[in-house]
């Protein structure tokens, strides 16, 4: 008998006298916590991102290239990984050398790169989380992992949801997903939180407004 058959057989025998199933799972928990205007939801996202030590910036569409260039040079970035589908104008003003995200690059090569700039799939306000799904403006998972500095651009309010349940509804499980809430951290030493162990030690999130700032209503 294969172990598969053995285990399935044990499960069936173990459940032989189990009572029939209860009613279907009641999902009477909340879809989101509290009622907020769209603008307030974006505020909450910014606040929760900052609470977990992400550096948050806000700008209007047209200001993005200049802001990204400034952030990269403030960091002294010599090179930046660019996902294949990142809008070309985003990094048009950057001085750093652009490194394409290619399948052939080795992890050692990636380790030499200073920064990475990506978009995201969705951002969760209640938890201060950005989610990457490997779409062309986000690239392979490793490019947001090995370089020490990640700048993630979130289009607000379109890409922002309030809650975890709403985020899952928007995501495709078939894609590789990475949920990021602040820079990597550990509390393994006497429960003192230390930012930055293996992932990027600096996470900057740019909330970019499709319309000029201040024009968004709920």
Partner 1 sequence: MSGTFVGMPAFPAAAREAVGDATLRGNLRHATHTIRDKRARAVAELDDWAALREAGRRIKDHTLRHLDRYLVQLEESVTAAGGTVHWAADADEANEIVARLVEETGEREVVKVKSMATQEIGLNEALEARGIHAYETDLAELIVQLGKDRPSHILVPAIHRNRGEIRDIFRSEMGAWGRPAPEGLTDTPAELAEAARLHLREKFLRARVGVSGANFMVAETGTLVVVESEGNGRMCLTLPETLISVVGIEKIVPSWRDLEVFLQTLPRSSTAERMNPYTSMWTGTTDEDGPRTFHLVLLDNGRTDTLADEVGRQALRCIRCSACLNVCPVYERAGGHAYGSVYPGPIGAILSPQLRGTGSEIDASLPYASSLCGACYEVCPVAIDIPEVLVHLRERVVQGGPAVREGNRVVLKPAKGHAAERAAMRAAGWAFDRPGALRAGQRLASRSRRLHPRTLPGPGRAWSGSRELPAVPAEPFRDWWQRTHGGKGEAE
- Please report where in the chains the tokens 């799939």 appear, as a residue: 121
Contact string 48-77 vs partner 1 (x = CB under 8 A): x---x-------------------------
Contact string 127-146 vs partner 1 (x = CB under 8 A): xxx----x-----xxx--xx
Which of 87, 175, 211, 212 touches partner 1 (CB under 8 A)? 175
Q: Is the dihedral of CA 206, 40, 61, 101 positive or negative?
A: positive
Does the footprint of partner 1 cover residue 177 (CB under 8 A)?
yes
Q: Which is nearer to partner 1, 181 or 209 (CB)?
A: 181
Q: Which is nearer to partner 1, 68 or 205 (CB)?
A: 205
Could you give the CA distance from residue 32 to residue 140 in angstroms, rounded to a whole number?
A: 30
Q: Pick from 192, 92, 65, 205: which is nearest to 149 by CA? A: 205
- Of residues 181 through 200, those in contact with partner 1 by CB under 8 A are 181-192, 194, 196-200
Structure tokens at 198: 């293996």
Looking only at the bridges linking them, the beta strands covering 79-82 and 55-60 are unpaired
| 3-state secondary structure labels for all residues of 23-49 | CCCCCCCCCCCCCCCHHHHHHHHHHHH
- Of residues 76 through 115, those in contact with partner 1 by CB under 8 A are 103, 106-108, 111
Does the footprint of partner 1 cover residue 215 (CB under 8 A)?
no
Which of 39, 50, 164, 216 touches partner 1 (CB under 8 A)? 164
Does the footprint of partner 1 cover residue 37 (CB under 8 A)?
no
């Amino acid at each position: 008998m294969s172990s598969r058959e053995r285990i399935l057989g044990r499960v069936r025998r173990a459940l032989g006298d189990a009572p029939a199933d209860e009613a279907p799972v009641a999902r009477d928990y909340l879809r989101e916590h509290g009622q907020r205007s769209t603008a307030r939801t974006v505020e909450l996202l910014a606040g929760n991102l900052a609470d977990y030590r992400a550096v948050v910036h806000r700008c209007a569409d047209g200001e993005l290239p200049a802001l990204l260039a400034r952030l990269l040079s403030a960091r002294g970035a010599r090179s930046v990984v660019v996902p294949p589908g990142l809008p070309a104008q985003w990094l048009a003003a950057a001085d750093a050398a652009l490194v394409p995200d290619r399948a052939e690059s080795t992890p050692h090569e990636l380790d030499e790169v200073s920064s990475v700039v990506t978009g995201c799939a969705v951002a969760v306000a209640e938890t201060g989380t950005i989610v990457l799904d490997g779409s062309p403006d986000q690239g392979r998972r490793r490019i947001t992992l090995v370089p020490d500095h990640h700048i993630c651009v979130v289009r607000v309010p379109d890409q922002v949801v309030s809650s975890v349940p709403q985020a899952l509804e928007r995501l495709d499980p078939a894609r590789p997903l990475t949920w990021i809430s602040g820079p990597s951290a550990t509390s393994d030493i006497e429960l003192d939180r230390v930012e930055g162990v293996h992932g990027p030690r600096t996470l900057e999130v740019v909330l970019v407004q499709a319309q000029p700032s201040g024009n968004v209503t709920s």
